[in-house]
């Protein structure tokens, strides 16, 4: 099956620093990648949708300048949490939708646990 690789799996950083999370589709081309945030015992909250070569579409309430998304190729999307603060601590998950065909299901990365001290 399709594999989405997400790195790092865990990151601890000081307040004020920036953190970059990578999401790669390893064996397929992803027309669209999604970034989610998940709090403990909560559902996934969609943060933004990114399409290769175009600007990401952010959900209401998500700060574009704080959560920078770059989708430079059909296999790579990155999320950069800029000037991270303790309230940004969360579990971030990416997912990808395959290019072509009638692809309705998503393939997920394994998630990144961000802890901001």
Partner 1 sequence: SQQGEEDPQALSIQEGENATMNCSYKTSINNLQWYRQNSGRGLVHLILIRSNEREKHSGRLRVTLDTSKKSSSLLITASRAADTASYFCATDLSYSGAGSYQLTFGKGTKLSVIP
Instruction: Lay out the site mask for partner 1 across 19-48 (x = CB under 8 A, - = otherwise).
Output: -------------x-x------xxxx-x--
Q: Are 30 and 98 in contact (CB under 8 A)?
A: yes
Residue 112, both tokens: 């990144």
The CA–CA distances, whole Å, from 49 to 4, 17, 55, 86 equal 16, 24, 9, 24
Contacts of partner 1 in 55-114 (CB under 8 A): 91, 93, 95, 97, 104-111, 113
Residue 49, both tokens: 């949708």
CB of 6 to partner 1, least distance (A): 7
Among 4, 74, 84, 98, the residue binding partner 1 under the rule CB under 8 A is 4
Residue 101, both tokens: 């065909």
- SS3 (DSSP) at 55: coil
Q: Note the residues at the interface with partner 1 (CB under 8 A).
A: 4, 6, 32, 34, 41-44, 46, 49, 91, 93, 95, 97, 104-111, 113
């Amino acid at each position: 099956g399709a594999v989405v690789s997400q790195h790092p799996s865990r990151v601890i950083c000081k307040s004020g620093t920036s953190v970059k999370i990578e999401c790669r589709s390893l064996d397929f081309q992803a027309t669209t990648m999604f970034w989610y945030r998940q709090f403990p015992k909560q559902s996934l909250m969609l943060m933004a949708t990114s399409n290769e070569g175009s600007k990401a579409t952010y959900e209401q309430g998500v700060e574009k300048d704080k959560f920078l998304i770059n989708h430079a190729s059909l296999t790579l999307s990155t999320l950069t949490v800029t000037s991270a603060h303790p309230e940004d601590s969360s579990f971030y998950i990416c997912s990808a939708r395959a290019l072509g065909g009638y692809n309705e299901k998503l393939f997920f990365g394994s998630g990144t646990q961000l802890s901001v001290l």
